[in-house]
A and B are shown apart, each in its own frame.
Chain A
Amino acid sequence: MNNLELKKTANEVRKGIVTAVHSAKAGHPGGSLSAADIYTYLYFEEMNVDPANPKMEDRDRFVLSKGHTAPGLYSTLANRGFFPVEDLVTLRKLGSYLQGHPCMQHIPGVDMSSGSLGQGISAAVGMALSGKLDKKEFRVYTLLGDGEIQEGQVWEASMLAGHRKLDNLVVIVDNNGLQIDGPVDKVCSPYPIDKKFEAFNFHVINIDAHDFDAIRAAFKEARETKGMPTAIIAHSLKGKGVSFMEGQAGWHGKAPNDEQYAVAMADLEKIGEELLKEEA
């Protein structure tokens, strides 16, 4: 996909996020929207996956370590064809397979259940170790929140990944700067994030999380990096794409009401129209 196609797809992913969370009357739009471009690039460009065969043995794996941003993952999987986009409105409802946090047993395309912060990265390390043991070519990607890296387990996992030289592993930190209680550097600063991963023997790349040229270059660089895992610190805007959610910690885990939903969708429609103009 070229950048314009990626941008259009990411915009559809964002609409799916807002629609799902609005329908559920609960959920986490802020961190789903901030990571929408990363999700889109992974599933539409980077990863070897097959929606018709979600359990394909040698597929690339993705673990959503920041499991609360499941709406972002679900919308991406649905838009990629793993399940119907229409099902997104069943998010968090009784009887739906779209659980509040990713559940690998019931959701096509979900490689690992997650939700308790700090645990997904460990599972990703296990998958990458398995690939190395069997000399397989598949790659493993995991997305973490910048608040999540306050969990000590993240660094236990990183220590092992660096020690084992897992160059088939890419850790992406969605650095939107906000967590529930406020700015991450006010709550309990995780900075400097890049230097921390460097100290754990990672190759580290800082990027603008909303620039597809930068995203593309970073994942290419990660593929070319041998003998160490890569950490991509993706500097993002929480709530990206929805005017009143952008940069607001309050939209970490809150659903828009009907009025707000209309505004949010209008914002995204406008972005879509601009992209069409760009195309023309």
Chain B
Amino acid sequence: MAENTVKKIATRESYGNALVELGTRNPDVVVLDADLAEATKTGVFKKAFPDRHIDCGIAEGNMVGVAAGLATTGKIPFVSSFAMFAAGRAFEQVRNSVGYPHLNVKIGATHAGITVGEDGASHQCNEDIALMRTIPGMVVMCPADDVEAKAAVMAAAEYEGPVYLRFGRAACPVINDRPDYHFEIGKGTVVREGMDLTIVATGICVGNALEAAEMLAAEGVSAEVINICTIKPLDEDIIIKSAKKTGKIVTAEEHSVIGGLGSAVCDAVCKSYPVPVMKIGMQDVFGESGSAGALLEKYKLDGKGIYGQIKEFLENGLCTF
């Protein structure tokens, strides 16, 4: 019964709503789209501030460059498209026109990961975190729920410099709805304390990791869960501190295991406190068509899948990769 009452909202919805709030507060905020305003949920901003919404047509590379130009004049542009096109197609424009001059451009990338669902592999971007975190000075954030997504958008607008924001298409449970919730770029949060292993998760996988931790607890395994919204700069302290306590790390992300959160965590632990790390994510494969739920199940990224993989990890006692 409890599960049915948990509020579920897709973080792309949160993105659109947060932009409207931002637009009211700050006249310098402008939003750019490439014919996907309905899907990226920036349509609400377009309706509220038609003059400050620029539809660039289906031309993402140009859109990123236009945003760069706007930023040089003091505007705070939010560029919106699917992650596949914002980070993938326009990678070089993001790198050279935004990253290199360190311009104040925010990239709101929706429809990231396999929960794009039925559109299939061509639209399921599992590589964006890897791409974006290689750009010097780029902040990379992947919010876990509605509360965090809104907070991340607000924080991105306050921050001076390029930011990549990763949002999902599918509705996901609200897990941060508590009065003492506080968001800060670069800070992770322990969302569940434990002793036996640490699950470091991002985005939609945070909620799923909490489910997995609950299943493990029923079997007497105490898992700590850390929510990492900011993948770059990474909160290394919170991860090392937990690693020292549990001695084992599992990372969980709706992204390739190459170059994403898992890699960032490995980079952090291997230099100061090496522990076995198992990376849960897309195992160097493309996705496929299907419902978001069915895909999360098939690729073992739902609560049950994460639980199952951790069980295997514990039974083998070693990192399986």
Instruction: List A residues at the B interface (Cβ < 8 Å).
Output: 61, 63, 103-105, 111-113, 115-116, 118-131, 133-134, 152-153, 156-157, 159-160, 163
Contact = CB atoms under 8 A, between A and B. Distances in A.
Interface stretch (B4-12, B94-102, B116-124, B242-250): B94-102
Contact of A160 (B30, B62, B75, B102): B62
18 contacts: A105-B101, A112-B69, A112-B72, A113-B100, A119-B97, A121-B65, A122-B64, A122-B97, A123-B65, A124-B69, A125-B62, A126-B77, A127-B70, A129-B66, A130-B75, A153-B62, A153-B65, A157-B66
Contacts, number: 102
A119 B96 CA distance: 8
B67 A126 contact: yes
Contacts of A152: 61
Which one of A111, A124, A125 has the highest number of Cβ atoms from chain B below 10 Å of its Cβ?
A: A125
Contact of A126 (B51, B57, B66): B66
A153 B90 CA distance: 11
Classify chain B: how many residues form its interface, as a range. Answer: 20 to 34
B59 A126 contact: no
B68 interface: yes
Please report whether the interface of chain A is mostly helix, strand, loop or mixed according to DSSP.
helix
Interface in B63-116: 63-75, 77, 92-93, 96-97, 100-102
A134 B70 CA distance: 11
Contacts of B71: 126
Given A105-B102, A116-B92, A123 B59 contact: no
Contacts of B52: 133
B54 to A, nearest CB: 6
Given A160-B59, A160-B62, A123 B54 contact: no
A63 B66 CA distance: 12
Nearest to A154: B62
Nearest to B51: A133
Interface in B163-190: none
